[in-house]
């Protein structure tokens, strides 16, 4: 490599505009604050969310500052690699979800420090929306699993497919979600089992009444937390 070119890369003066730098740190602050809000409100982490997220903004600003300084200097970039090689960070990361948010904060600092404002804003906002949607979805699934009620419907005759459809419709009116589990049928008896998520406790009584209207001789067993309701 030419000596003058090598000297230029190693000894070039870093010129950082004040206005672009201020815009970068302000944008990084806003995005990291949004990440912190989403983490506190939607994270399923069991650790103390406030203590863990209080450093999000500082971490984002530090990353922005570092990238802003080293992005235009090969010498500073090599110096940063050398410095990081002797520094070890030992943070107690207990859950993978915490790493996701830390990477989002670091990505924010990298993007803002590199001057890629539009891409950074779009990427972070899209990522946060995905996290919110999945958090709400899995929270509903978790609530369903926690409030699940097992229903066993026992008939003293063999039932048809249309009877099962009528049962499902009658049950669905009073439940957030209905899952068909099993059907056991003989000439003398039929048993249908469902997993239910009732809208409220009163829904169980209403459900019982509607099922009795379909078949007076039906025997209904609701099981929740090992408690039987007939």
51 and 151 both lie in a single domain:
no
97 and 163 both lie in a single domain:
no
Domain count for the chain, please give it.
2
| Spatial separation of the C-alpha atoms in residues 197 and 177, rounded to whole Å | 5
Which of 144, 161, 180 corresponds to the end of one domain?
A: 144
15 and 114 both lie in a single domain:
yes
13 and 125 both lie in a single domain:
yes
167 and 84 both lie in a single domain:
no
Place of tokens 């206005």: 19
The CATH number assigned to the domain holding 205 equals 3.30.70.260
127 or 88: which leads in pLDDT: 127
Examine the pLDDT at 113 and tell me if it is beyond 70.
yes
**What pairs with residue 228 in β-bridges?**
223
Domain that holds residue 23: 3-144
User: Would you place residue 201 in the very low, low, confident or very high pLDDT band (cuts 50, 70, 90)?
Assistant: confident
The pLDDT of residue 25: 92
29 and 126 both lie in a single domain:
yes
pTM: 0.55
37 and 133 both lie in a single domain:
yes
153 and 135 both lie in a single domain:
no
Please give the backbone phi and psi of residue 153, each rounded to the nearest 5 degrees, phi first.
-110, 120
């Amino acid at each position: 490599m030419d000596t003058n070119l090598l000297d230029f890369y190693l000894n070039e003066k870093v010129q950082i505009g004040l206005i672009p730098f201020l815009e970068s740190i302000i944008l990084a602050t806003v995005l990291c604050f949004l990440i912190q809000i989403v983490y506190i409100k939607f994270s399923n982490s069991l650790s103390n969310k406030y203590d863990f997220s209080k450093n999000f903004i500082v971490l984002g600003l530090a990353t922005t500052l570092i990238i802003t300084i080293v992005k235009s200097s090969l010498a500073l970039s090599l110096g940063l690699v050398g410095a990081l090689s002797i520094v070890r960070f030992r943070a107690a990361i207990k859950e993978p979800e915490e790493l996701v948010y830390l990477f989002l904060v670091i990505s924010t600092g990298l993007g803002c420090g590199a001057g890629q404002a539009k891409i950074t804003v779009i990427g972070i906002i899209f990522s946060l929306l995905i996290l919110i949607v999945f958090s709400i979805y899995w929270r509903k699934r978790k609530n369903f699993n926690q409030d699940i009620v097992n229903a066993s419907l026992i008939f003293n005759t063999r039932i048809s497919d249309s009877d099962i459809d009528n049962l499902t419709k009658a049950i669905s009116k009073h439940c957030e979600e209905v899952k068909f589990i099993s059907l056991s049928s003989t000439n003398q008896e039929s048993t249908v089992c469902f997993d239910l998520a009732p809208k409220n406790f009163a829904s169980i009584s209403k459900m019982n009444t509607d099922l009795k209207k379909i078949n007076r001789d039906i025997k209904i067993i609701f099981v929740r937390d090992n408690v039987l309701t007939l």
